[in-house]
């Protein structure tokens, strides 16, 4: 899903401008998302919501992966083929605490947004493909649907945060593109299962990454590294 | 030949193998990495299990490479984690990256490799247990005590930057309980337990978990003794109190049983019977009533001739006054032919007023100009009849307050006529409603003269006294008063009481003595049986006994009717506020008609009873 050309962008900007005009008495950062009746959503509230969403998404992803592995691929060494299979590995993401503390706030936020954006399409196809499967596993499908929806919300929230913290940020549309759709549609079951395994494996990892990053940023921005 | 060579070779190999086995030297067995853990997402440690021992010293080495890298690395730290472990320090630890590692066991005989293990630090996080578990019983003043549990996160975990997020859980139980009570504490490092069993020893433990990872081990047990709460021990106290009180009750019951009656009398003294000073109950038994009664101080019992003294004090007839009244009345109401009828030359009755020669003359007071005054208690004078043992003056005086409307126009408070000392007729009590129970003449101009409330009370009190003296029938006749005042709602009524006594005794009557110009009605007591009864003024004929109230007209005018059937004067008592329901207007009108026919008939006599029908006056006065 390409956000760049979507009508969301324009409407979101319009809402933001109107809300900023309307809500004058919000401290510390005046923001009125979505034209809500109460224009009192602070940055802290936004981060809290984002953390809740990211935590939730990772829990869903972890459960979904466990269910899939247990049902289809356990003990069959699919993990070996999942090495270096994530499409977001091209992103220079911090891998430990020191690296995360070295990255600046703005880049950090952009990074998170890129990861989220890069997952819009794979999630969409995941839902489509699982739904079209014969004997579709209902639990996996429901979780996939939920993850897709919540990821969208998280992305919107992140974009709000970015607009608040770094309003001057130019829209960065660069994000890793997923091209694993053909693999999901392969006739060979082994290959197909491997493709699903890789997708779910990467989803679990990236959701954990986003959750950890957001918790780091929340403590850094809101609590000044004093959580 | 060839077969021999083959078998020889096999035999040699087996021999060699046997020799080796006998020596116990084999390459090491295959090790296995069974566990990797990271306590803080910054380091991690892996442990392997060595394979079978080859009998020779075996070296283990762990080698790994990471996802996206091809370079093999060896374990940087074999020591920190203990034997057969590999510890990865901060610089070797990466999140969100798969580690592929294996262990190589080597001995002289050979080596063996373990299987590869794919490890992602992200999913092997398990912290150490929390530290510094502190448990305390806190007792706030106005609340029940609670358990305050506090702990610290394990060391080496970075919570401040948000890199690590910890969630806690505590559990506690009484020492001898079977099951734990588990509470999730979230991210807080303190907790309150409010439901406690006092007097018990509790075990408390806490553990923690990362936001995504494994629970830590439980912390070491901490013991805490909950102090016994006094309120919880109340049952013991109450039981002891109950036992003590039961014992005390038993002792009391035993003492009572022993002492018996004396104790009871001590606690509940008998009610003393009535005792009259100087009264000897034995006299009663002997039948000496005289002595007995003298002891009682009862001089007039059984009633003697002094009985009259008691009864006669209500009314006072004043001859001179009457004359005045009459004269006045005659002037203004020439048509009033009743006047002469009221003049009662009877002297033997207990008029006790000026009429009676035996009475003091000071009572003869001029009728006051104010017709509205009836009872003037201040004017009341005691009849100074030495024989009188009772005076009713107090009655008169006491009724002052009850006479709002009546003013003694007729001067004196009508004390009941004093008993004539010459008269020994015990029944010569009468009531003389002299004076002018005048009503202020209102627009109606109704004359009604009657006894006022004071007189009523006096009558009543006299009645009570009479009741004490049995054998004396006293009758009070009252003439209903007419409501003549506009502002006076309560007509004057003569309270009438049915005599409780039979007709065995002569009755006292009231006769109209005179009527003055203002309608004041003076009544004279009259004695029925007295043969020497003075002639009644007016015609003795047409004497009717008006013992009944025939009806009440408007303005509360009571109409009396003759009652030929009644021998005695029916004491009727009516108050101005009460309307006799049993009477009919027709009778009243008839009675009125009768009265108006002959003025002289107002005074009727039946059986020696003279009544005065105020209805007469009503018409006469109008």
pLDDT digits (tens, 9 = 90+) for B522-552: 555 555 444 444 444 444 444 455 556 666 6
Q: Report which DSSP code applies to B111.
A: E
Describe the crossing of helices A120-132 and A138-165 by its angle, rounded to 10 degrees: 170
Which residues in chain A touch residue B159, judged by CB atoms under 8 angstroms apart?
Answer: 227
Nearest CA in chain B to A226: B160
Within-domain flag for B521 = no
Within-domain flag for B138 = yes
Within-domain flag for B301 = no
Which residues in chain A touch residue B95, judged by CB atoms under 8 angstroms apart?
Answer: 95-96, 209, 212
| B53 and B137 both lie in a single domain | no
For domain A42-85+111-167+178-223, the CATH architecture is Up-down Bundle (1.20)
Distance from CA of A104 to the nearest CA of B (A): 14
- Residue A55 labeled ligand binder: yes
Within-domain flag for B113 = yes
> Measuring CA to CA, which residue among B98, B74, B100 is closest to residue B87?
B74
Beta bridge partners of B205: B171
Q: Of B192, B215, B235, which one is at a domain's C-terminal end?
A: B235
pLDDT of B426 strictly over 70: no
> Could you check whether the bond before residue A207 is cis, i.e. omega within 30 degrees of 0?
no
Residue B29, pLDDT score: 87
pLDDT of B600 strictly over 80: no
CB neighbours of residue A70 within 10 Å: 10
Residue B584, pLDDT score: 45
pLDDT of A98 strictly over 90: yes
Residue B308, pLDDT score: 56
Which residues in chain A touch residue B158, judged by CB atoms under 8 angstroms apart?
Answer: 97
Answer whether B122 sits within 8 Å of A80, measured CB to CB: no
Answer whether A100 sits within 8 Å of B96, measured CB to CB: no
User: Measured between alpha carbons, how far is residue B562 from residues B344, B540, B559 in Å?
Assistant: 21, 15, 10
Within-domain flag for B62 = yes
- Residue A45 labeled ligand binder: no
CA B381 to chain centre: 52
User: CA–CA separation, A3 vs A124, rounded Å?
Assistant: 14
- Average pLDDT over every residue of B83-93: 94
Over residues B144-179, the pLDDT tens digits come to 888 999 999 999 999 999 999 999 999 999 989 999
Q: Which of A223-227, B25-29, B343-347, B560-564 has the lowest mean pLDDT?
A: B343-347
Give the pLDDT band of residue A83 (cuts 50, 70, 90): very high
All structural domains of chain A with their residue ranges: 42-85+111-167+178-223
Sign, Cα dihedral of B319, B321, B326, B331: positive
Give the pLDDT band of residue B329 (cuts 50, 70, 90): very low
Which residues in chain B touch residue A225, judged by CB atoms under 8 angstroms apart?
Answer: 160-162
Residue scoring higher pLDDT (B286 or B492): B286
pLDDT of A30 strictly over 60: no
| DSSP of A55-98 | HHHHHHHHHHHHHHIIIIITTTTHHHHTTT--GGGGS----SHH
Structural domains in chain B (count): 2
**Of A79, A217, A219, Cβ closest to residue B160:** A219
**Of A82, A84, A216, Cβ closest to residue B68:** A84
Q: Of B123, B152, B170, which one is at a domain's C-terminal end?
A: B123
CB neighbours of residue B65 within 10 Å: 16
User: CA–CA separation, B497 vs A204, rounded Å?
Assistant: 113
pLDDT of B340 strictly over 70: no
Most A CBs within 10 Å: which of B67, B96, B158, as the mutation test of the A interface?
B96
Answer whether A95 sits within 8 Å of B97, measured CB to CB: yes
Across chain B, mean pLDDT equals: 65
| B104 and B156 both lie in a single domain | no
Over residues B103-146, the pLDDT tens digits come to 999 988 888 999 999 999 999 999 999 999 999 998 888 888 88
User: CA–CA separation, B38 vs B47, rounded Å?
Assistant: 12
User: Measured between alpha carbons, how far is residue B282 from residues A159, B64, B276, B285, B292 in Å?
Assistant: 121, 133, 13, 5, 9
Which residues in chain B touch residue A62, judged by CB atoms under 8 angstroms apart?
Answer: 212
Which residues in chain A touch residue B92, judged by CB atoms under 8 angstroms apart?
Answer: none
Measured in residues, chain A has a length of: 227
User: CA–CA separation, B62 vs B86, rounded Å?
Assistant: 7
Within-domain flag for B458 = no
Which residues in chain A touch residue B94, judged by CB atoms under 8 angstroms apart?
Answer: 95-96
Q: Of B85, B101, B123, which one is at a domain's C-terminal end?
A: B123
Residue scoring higher pLDDT (B28 or B385): B28
Domain that holds residue B39: 22-123
Over residues B435-457, the pLDDT tens digits come to 444 444 434 444 333 334 444 44
Backbone angles phi, psi at B566, to 5 degrees: -90, 130
- Average pLDDT over every residue of A91-104: 93
Residue A174, pLDDT score: 86
Residue B287, pLDDT score: 61
**Of B42, B159, B161, Cβ closest to residue A220:** B161
Nearest CA in chain B to A88: B96
User: CA–CA separation, B563 vs B85, rounded Å?
Assistant: 137
A84 contact B CB<8A: yes
**Of B122, B160, B163, Cβ closest to residue A208:** B122
Within-domain flag for B453 = no
Tokens linked to B146:
């609670």
| B136 and B116 both lie in a single domain | no
| DSSP of B78-105 | SSTT-TTEEEE-GGG--SS-EEEEEEEE
Which CATH number is B195's domain given?
2.60.40.10
Within-domain flag for B95 = yes
Backbone angles phi, psi at B127, to 5 degrees: -75, 170
- As for the ipTM of the complex, it is 0.83
Most A CBs within 10 Å: which of B124, B159, B161, B164, as the mutation test of the A interface?
B161
- Average pLDDT over every residue of B362-376: 43
User: CA–CA separation, B546 vs B607, rounded Å?
Assistant: 11
A218 contact B CB<8A: yes
**Of B42, B95, B165, Cβ closest to residue A215:** B165
Answer whether A227 sits within 8 Å of B98, measured CB to CB: no
| B48 and B112 both lie in a single domain | yes
Cβ-Cβ contacts under 8 Å for B595 (sequence gap 6 or more): B601, B602, B613, B615, B616, B619
Which residues from B are below 8 Å from A when comparing CB atoms? 41-42, 67-68, 90, 93-98, 100, 118, 120, 122, 158-163, 165, 211-212
| B231 and B137 both lie in a single domain | yes
Distance from CA of A199 to the nearest CA of B (A): 15
Answer whether B161 sits within 8 Å of A219, measured CB to CB: yes
> Measuring CA to CA, which residue among B425, B434, B436, B319 is closest to residue B369?
B436
CB pairs under 8 A between A and B: 68
């Amino acid at each position: 899903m390409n956000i760049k050309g979507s009508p969301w962008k324009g409407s979101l900007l319009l809402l933001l401008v109107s809300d900023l005009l309307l809500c004058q008495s919000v401290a510390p950062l005046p923001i009125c998302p979505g034209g809500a009746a109460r224009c009192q959503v602070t940055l802290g509230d936004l981060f809290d919501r984002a953390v809740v969403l990211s935590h939730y998404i990772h829990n869903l992803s972890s459960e979904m992966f466990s269910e899939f592995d247990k049902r289809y691929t356990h003990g069959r060494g699919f993990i070996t083929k999942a090495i270096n299979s994530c499409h977001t590995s091209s992103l220079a993401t911090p891998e430990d605490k020191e690296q995360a503390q070295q990255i600046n706030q703005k880049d950090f936020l952009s990074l998170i947004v890129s990861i989220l954006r890069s997952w819009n399409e794979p999630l969409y196809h995941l839902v489509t493909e699982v739904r079209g499967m014969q004997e579709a596993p209902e639990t996996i499908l429901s979780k996939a649907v939920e993850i897709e929806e919540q990821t969208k919300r998280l992305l919107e929230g992140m974009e709000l945060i970015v607009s608040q913290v770094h309003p001057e940020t130019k829209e960065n549309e660069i994000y890793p593109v997923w091209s694993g759709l053909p693999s999901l549609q392969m006739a060979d079951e082994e290959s197909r299962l491997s493709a699903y395994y890789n997708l779910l494996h990467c989803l679990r990892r990236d959701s954990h990454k986003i959750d950890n990053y957001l918790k780091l940023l929340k403590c850094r921005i809101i609590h000044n590294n004093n959580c | 030949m060839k077969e021999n060579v083959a078998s020889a070779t096999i035999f040699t190999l087996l021999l060699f193998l046997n020799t080796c086995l006998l020596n116990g030297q084999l390459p090491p067995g295959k090790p296995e990495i069974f566990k990797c853990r990271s306590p803080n997402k910054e380091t991690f440690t892996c442990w392997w299990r060595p394979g079978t021992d080859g009998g020779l010293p075996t070296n283990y080495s762990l080698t790994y490479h990471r996802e996206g890298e091809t370079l093999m690395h060896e374990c940087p730290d074999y020591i920190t984690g203990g034997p057969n472990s590999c510890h990865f320090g901060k610089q070797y630890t990466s999140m969100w990256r798969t580690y592929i590692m294996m262990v190589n066991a080597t001995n002289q005989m050979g080596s063996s490799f373990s299987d590869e293990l794919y490890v992602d630090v992200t999913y092997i996080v398990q912290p150490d247990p929390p530290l510094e578990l502190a448990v305390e019983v806190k007792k706030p003043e106005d609340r029940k005590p609670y358990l305050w549990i506090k702990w610290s996160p394990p060391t080496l975990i970075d919570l401040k930057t948000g890199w690590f997020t910890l969630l806690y859980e505590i559990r506690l139980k009484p020492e001898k309980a079977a099951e734990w009570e588990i509470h999730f504490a979230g991210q807080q490092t303190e907790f309150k337990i409010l439901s406690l069993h006092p007097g018990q020893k509790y075990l408390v433990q806490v553990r923690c978990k990362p936001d995504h990872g494994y629970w830590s081990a439980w912390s070491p047990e901490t013991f805490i003794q909950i102090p016994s709460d006094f309120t919880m021990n109340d049952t013991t106290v109450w039981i002891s109190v109950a036992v003590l009180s039961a014992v005390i009750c038993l002792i009391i019951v035993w003492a009572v049983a022993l002492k018996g009656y004396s104790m009871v009398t001590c606690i509940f003294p008998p009610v003393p019977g009535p005792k009259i000073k100087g009264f000897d109950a034995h006299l009663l038994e002997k039948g000496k009533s005289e002595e007995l009664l003298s002891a009682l101080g009862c001089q007039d019992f059984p009633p003697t001739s002094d009985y009259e003294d008691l009864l006669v004090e209500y009314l006072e007839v004043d001859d001179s006054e009457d004359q005045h009244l009459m004269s006045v009345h005659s002037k203004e109401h020439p048509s009033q032919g009743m006047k002469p009828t009221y003049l009662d030359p009877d002297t033997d009755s207990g008029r006790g007023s000026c009429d009676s020669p035996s009475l003091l003359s000071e009572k003869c007071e001029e009728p006051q100009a104010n017709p509205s005054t009836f009872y003037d208690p201040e004017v009341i004078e005691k009849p100074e009849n030495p024989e009188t043992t009772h005076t009713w003056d107090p009655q008169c005086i006491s009724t002052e307050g009850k006479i709002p409307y009546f003013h003694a126009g007729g001067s004196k408070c009508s004390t009941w006529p004093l008993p004539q000392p010459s008269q020994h007729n015990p029944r010569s009590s009468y009531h003389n409603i002299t004076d002018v129970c005048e009503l202020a003449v209102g627009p109606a101009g109704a004359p009604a003269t009657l006894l006022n409330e004071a007189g009523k009370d006096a009558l009543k009190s006299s009645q009570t006294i009479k009741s004490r003296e049995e054998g004396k029938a006293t009758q009070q006749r009252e003439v209903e008063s007419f409501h003549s005042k506009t502002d006076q709602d309560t007509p004057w009524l003569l309270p009438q009481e049915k005599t409780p006594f039979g007709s065995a005794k002569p009755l006292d009557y009231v006769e109209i003595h005179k009527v003055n110009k203002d309608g004041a009605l003076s009544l004279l007591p009259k004695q029925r049986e007295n043969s020497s009864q003075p002639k009644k003024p007016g015609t003795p004929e047409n004497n009717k006994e008006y013992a009944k109230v025939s009806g009440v007209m408007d303005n509360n005018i009571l109409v009396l009717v003759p009652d030929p059937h009644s021998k005695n004067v029916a004491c009727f008592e009516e108050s101005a506020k009460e309307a006799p329901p049993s009477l009919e207007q027709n009778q009243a009108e008839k009675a009125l008609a009768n009265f108006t026919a002959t003025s002289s008939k107002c005074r009727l006599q039946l059986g020696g009873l003279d009544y005065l029908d105020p209805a007469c006056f009503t018409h006469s006065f109008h």
